[in-house]
Amino acid sequence: MRGIYIHIPFCAKRCTYCSFVSGMPHEKMHLYVDALKREMDERPIKGEDISTIYIGGGTPSVLYRGAISDILSHIFEKCAVGADAEITVECNPDSVTEDFVSEIISAKVNRVSIGLQTDNDDLLKKINRPHDKAGFLRAWKLLEKIPNKSLDLMLGLPGQNEADLLSSLELAVSLNAPHISLYALKVEEGTPLYESGFAADDDLEADFYDSAYRFLISRGYDRYEVSNFCKDGMYSRHNSAYWDLTEYYGFGISAHSLLDGKRLANDDNIDKYILGNCERFVEKSDAAEEYIMLALRTAKGIDLDRLNGYGVDLMTAKGKEITEYIRQGFMIKEGKNLRLNDNAFYIMNDIICNLI
Amino acid sequence: MNRLDKIRNFCIIAHIDHGKSTLADRLMEQTGTVALRDMTDQLLDSMDIERERGITIKLTPVRMKYSRGGVDYELNLIDTPGHVDFNYEVSRSLAACEGALLVVDATQGVEAQTLANVYLAIDNDLTVLPVINKIDLPSSDPEAVKKEIEEVIGLDAEEAPLISAKDGININEVLEKIVDFFPSPRGEENAPLKALIFDSYYDNYKGAVCLVRIKDGKVKIGDKIKMMATSMTYDVTEVGIFTPKPTPIDVLSVGDVGYICASIKNVSETAPGDTITFADDPCLEPCPGYKKVLPVVYCGIFPADGSKYNDLRDALERLKLNDAALFFEQENSAALGFGFRCGFLGLLHMEIIEERLEREFDLDLITTAPSVNYKVYKTNGEVVTVTNPSNLPSVQETDHIEEPIVAADIYTPPEYIGAIMELCQEKRGEYKDMVYLDKTRVRLHYIIPLNEIVYDFFDSLKSRSRGYASLDYEIKGYRESDLVKLDILLNNEICDALSIIVHRDKAYARGRALAEKLKDVIPRQMFEIPIQASIGNKVIARETVKALRKDVLAKCYGGDISRKKKLLEKQKEGKKRMRQVGTVQVPSEAFMSVLKLDDK
């Protein structure tokens, strides 16, 4: 079983913090969708068992009508996509229309991830999001036939205070969102936000995160990954697969794949891609290190037997460090399971560095 | 005229910046020793550091030919280091000469280090000829400087050539006076060989090269020689002179300055001051004045990257080949791992070695606070010498401690007297006297503990006198003192590399300053880190590094794991430059940052 990721590098507007490959000229959409299908034809996906599909970006909802059905039916033709497969499309509230919703429902999309980021209109404007709170509520209503929804929120936005954050979370909870992802703003070099001189305040973000965590737990959500919360087991199967080293194809510019233990990265030049000469690079990979780094992000943690299968006996290699972390209360070990304690999730890099 | 009458052996004494190297360059140019096209500035200073700092560390002799009245003279110039740390090197090179040119800056007058070396030259029975340099500068006052030379040093300056080494003015007069003024060497050509080693260096192909002045006899290839201090014998493989490049010749005879190679493995076998003679037909007495040089300043040197220990050892061994005064032995620090406790002649020597290790051997170093030789009198009657604070016996075992003290002469324009006296007082200095050398210069005489000088005395002296004051010091013995070991505890564990020995009265201020500084340089970690300064069990200062709150990768989806992994690898790389002290990660820079604390 493998997953498929499709990258859609188009947006209505570019957010000030965005460092992803996005914001390509809209006139290239048709050619790009054709090129996506060609890439699928060229790569050996025929007959592949597919358990999750994720169309992300960018903003897939800005695509012309018919694009998403076109892409998905191309996959259905070639691969064995089970009836229970999770098929997610990312969308922005402003481009969620009635037509869009009926298209994706008929294209068998059964999960949407909606980028709200915050429900404070001033903050939304400041980060150059194209929607407002009212627009989001309208989109949410339009999407009511797809119950499996994720709400994306951010913490640490310029000017955001704790009350803003809790108000957004309150809204998510009141809408009974089954899944909430809560990412800290990262100021990446080269973004307008970086150029503006804004610097993240780690202590403030940590305070926000602690409050958000307590709030969501008190409202019945589970933190199944450091930045992802869900109710009633409605976790993202596609993203969980990444953290579990399940293999996946990535199509489109800058998309990554994990196939037969190899990590591949597509080039990010859209013109070359459209012309059909997309370069694909092999990236350095090390299953054991990646598993430690990714599994520790999850509530489940590391299965030491599985890690053994990747050739690393962690308790032998890093027994001293782990014992010390357990003594300090940062880690928990139960049988063959090793995971972070609640207090260590937001400071896990140091631990990971010491274990890989 | 016999052979010896045509030889003059001389050196140049000058304060830093007074133009010694430039004058040496001009002399070589004028005598045609070095073609103009081969001149680089300060030709005799062969190391980059020497040229950059404008100081001479190693002595490089040169033979120049000078013709006058149909006679070809052989002038041997022995360059000398100008710094107090290298006093012994200076005395050795002086012992190889009959004359000394005293270069004085016509705008500055006589300086402290000049004085010390002039007296050293006079003690060695050298004829001293003053030369007044920089007469091209508008602010020069040769007459006043002449007067000062006569009054302060007591030398007749009437004959002093007035020159500008920079512009090549009156260089010929200097050459003439060298011939007329300096005595020619004396000695017996037919006596057994007696050669004074005044320096040595290591050559990859020839082994240790001894720089010698032949006092009696002669030496050639194949002679069997003996070092009188060690009685070790060798077969001579090459003798030669410096032009200034080493150039082999057939025989070195009495009066000559040159070099001897004899497949000697190590410069430590060619101790400066030692005498070379024939193994089978030795001279009766060695040249006087030989002494073993002992380090006075110590510090720990560790590789910033622990895995570079072997590289550091190799580098120190390489430097030791050329520097008999460098001392090192293995040291094992709980905080810094394996490294070396190194001994130096002084602070400048220490800085130069550190800089050469970093520059020539491309090593990143962590050095610990400089220390001196303490004498600890234990209650059981034993006396131990301690150079490493970690080895200081416990208070219970200690009866009392003595520390080395120095007699310090500080030369300054009068306007800084107040600031400098205040500094000396802060540094536990004991005022002795003050002499107005003239209207513009004062000499302050203090007795000061060496451990205060090695800390940051030079920097403070310079900053409080706008760079005008200079310091000259010599070790004056030991004095009992109320010294304590100041420890730094990180998360309740002593970090041995940060311990220092300090006077009790200064321990509080130093402890506070150390703790504050460390708080700034130790990064936040997964738990709160108390930083404490303590004497014995008594905590005298405390700071806290707050616990880390956020250190987590953003979004790990979209399948791009490699980008995230690179961030972690970078972070892990950064951790390599950290030292584990108990449970605390301490960056290498932290150990260095505490070496220079502002006392204010």
Of B525, B550, B575, which is closest to A346 when you measure between CB atoms?
B550
Of B552, B564, B568, which is closest to A346 when you measure between CB atoms?
B552
Interface-testing mutation among A347, A354, A356, with chain B (most B C-beta atoms within 10 A): A347
Please indicate if any CB of chain B lies within 8 Å of the CB of A294. yes
pLDDT digits 0-9 by tens, B535-571: 988 999 999 999 999 988 877 656 788 888 888 888 8
Calpha distance B273→B283 (Å, rounded):
16
**Residues sharing a CB contact under 8 Å with residue A141, sequence separation 6 or more, in sequence order:** none
Contacts of A205 in chain B (CB under 8 A): 549-550
Given pLDDT bands bounded at 50, 70 and 90, which one contains residue B336? confident
pLDDT digits 0-9 by tens, A162-190: 999 999 999 999 999 999 999 999 888 88
Say if residues A331 and A341 touch (Cβ distance below 8 Å).
Answer: yes
Q: Which helix (H) or strand (E) holds B182?
A: none
pLDDT digits 0-9 by tens, B367-402: 888 899 999 999 999 999 998 898 999 989 999 999
Contacts of A345 in chain B (CB under 8 A): 552
3-state secondary structure (DSSP) of residue B186: coil
Contacts of A249 in chain B (CB under 8 A): none
What is the ipTM metric for this complex?
A: 0.85
A residues 248-267 closer than 8 Å to B (CB): 248, 250, 254-258, 263, 265
Say if residues B269 and B201 touch (Cβ distance below 8 Å).
Answer: no
What distance in Å separates residue B579's CA from the closest CA in chain A?
A: 13
Given pLDDT bands bounded at 50, 70 and 90, which one contains residue B318? confident
For residue B600, pLDDT beyond 60:
no
Please indicate if any CB of chain B lies within 8 Å of the CB of A183. yes
pLDDT at B54: 44
What average pLDDT does the structure give for chain A? 94
pLDDT digits 0-9 by tens, A112-145: 999 999 999 999 999 999 999 999 999 999 999 9
pLDDT digits 0-9 by tens, B584-599: 989 887 887 777 765 4
Q: Which residue of A has its CA nearest to B528?
A: A328
Q: Which two tokens stand for residue B374?
A: 């303490």
pLDDT at B271: 82
Segments of B379-520 assigned E as strands:
383-386, 398-412, 430-436, 442-449, 470-481, 483-490, 493-494, 500-503
Of A202, A297, A351, which is closest to B550 when you measure between CB atoms?
A202
Beta bridge partners of B376: B384, B401
What distance in Å separates residue A137's CA from the closest CA in chain B?
A: 25
Please indicate if any CB of chain B lies within 8 Å of the CB of A136. no
Given pLDDT bands bounded at 50, 70 and 90, which one contains residue B15? confident
pLDDT at B57: 47
For residue B58, pLDDT beyond 60:
no
- Mean pLDDT, residues B81-86 taken together: 59
For residue B86, pLDDT beyond 70:
no
What distance in Å separates residue A222's CA from the closest CA in chain B?
A: 18
**8 Å CB contact of B549 and A263:** no
For residue B306, pLDDT beyond 90:
no
B61 vs A262, more confident: A262
**8 Å CB contact of A289 and B565:** yes
- Mean pLDDT, residues A97-105 taken together: 96
pLDDT digits 0-9 by tens, B120-161: 788 788 999 999 999 999 988 999 999 988 887 888 888 899
The Cα angle at residue B459 between residues B455 and B463, in degrees rounded to 5? 145
Calpha distance B560→B325 (Å, rounded):
57
How many CB atoms are closer than 10 A to CB A327?
9
Tell me B50's DSSP state: H
**8 Å CB contact of B551 and A349:** yes
Q: Which helix (H) or strand (E) holds B271?
A: none
Given pLDDT bands bounded at 50, 70 and 90, which one contains residue B275? very high
Say if residues B15 and B105 touch (Cβ distance below 8 Å).
Answer: yes
Given pLDDT bands bounded at 50, 70 and 90, which one contains residue B85? low
Residues above pLDDT 90, as percent of chain A: 86
Say if residues B390 and B496 touch (Cβ distance below 8 Å).
Answer: yes
- Mean pLDDT, residues B74-86 taken together: 74
Parallel/antiparallel/unpaired status of strands B365-367 and B297-303: antiparallel
Parallel/antiparallel/unpaired status of strands B71-78 and B7-14: parallel
CA torsion, ordered B342, B347, B352, B358, to nearest 10 deg: 60
What distance in Å separates residue B557's CA from the closest CA in chain A?
A: 6
Alpha helices by DSSP H, listed for A161-279, are 162-174, 192-195, 202-218, 237-243, 270-274
Annotated domain spans of chain A = 2-243, 302-355
Interface-testing mutation among B524, B527, B552, with chain A (most A C-beta atoms within 10 A): B552
CATH of domain A2-243: 3.20.20.70
What distance in Å separates residue A67's CA from the closest CA in chain B?
A: 20
Of A239, A346, A349, which is closest to B571 when you measure between CB atoms?
A349
Given pLDDT bands bounded at 50, 70 and 90, which one contains residue B17? low
**Which single residue is written with the structure tokens 């357990």?**
A326
What average pLDDT does the structure give for chain B? 86
**Residues sharing a CB contact under 8 Å with residue B378, sequence separation 6 or more, in sequence order:** B384, B393, B397, B398, B399
For residue B42, pLDDT beyond 60:
no
Given pLDDT bands bounded at 50, 70 and 90, which one contains residue A316? very high
**8 Å CB contact of A56 and B558:** yes
Contacts of B575 in chain A (CB under 8 A): 353-354
Given pLDDT bands bounded at 50, 70 and 90, which one contains residue B440? confident
**8 Å CB contact of B549 and A206:** yes
For residue B56, pLDDT beyond 50:
no
Q: Which residue of A has its CA nearest to B564?
A: A293
- Mean pLDDT, residues A102-109 taken together: 96
Given pLDDT bands bounded at 50, 70 and 90, which one contains residue B36? low
**8 Å CB contact of A353 and B571:** yes
**8 Å CB contact of B549 and A293:** no
Say if residues B29 and B66 touch (Cβ distance below 8 Å).
Answer: no
Residues above pLDDT 70, as percent of chain B: 92
Cα radius of gyration (chain A): 21
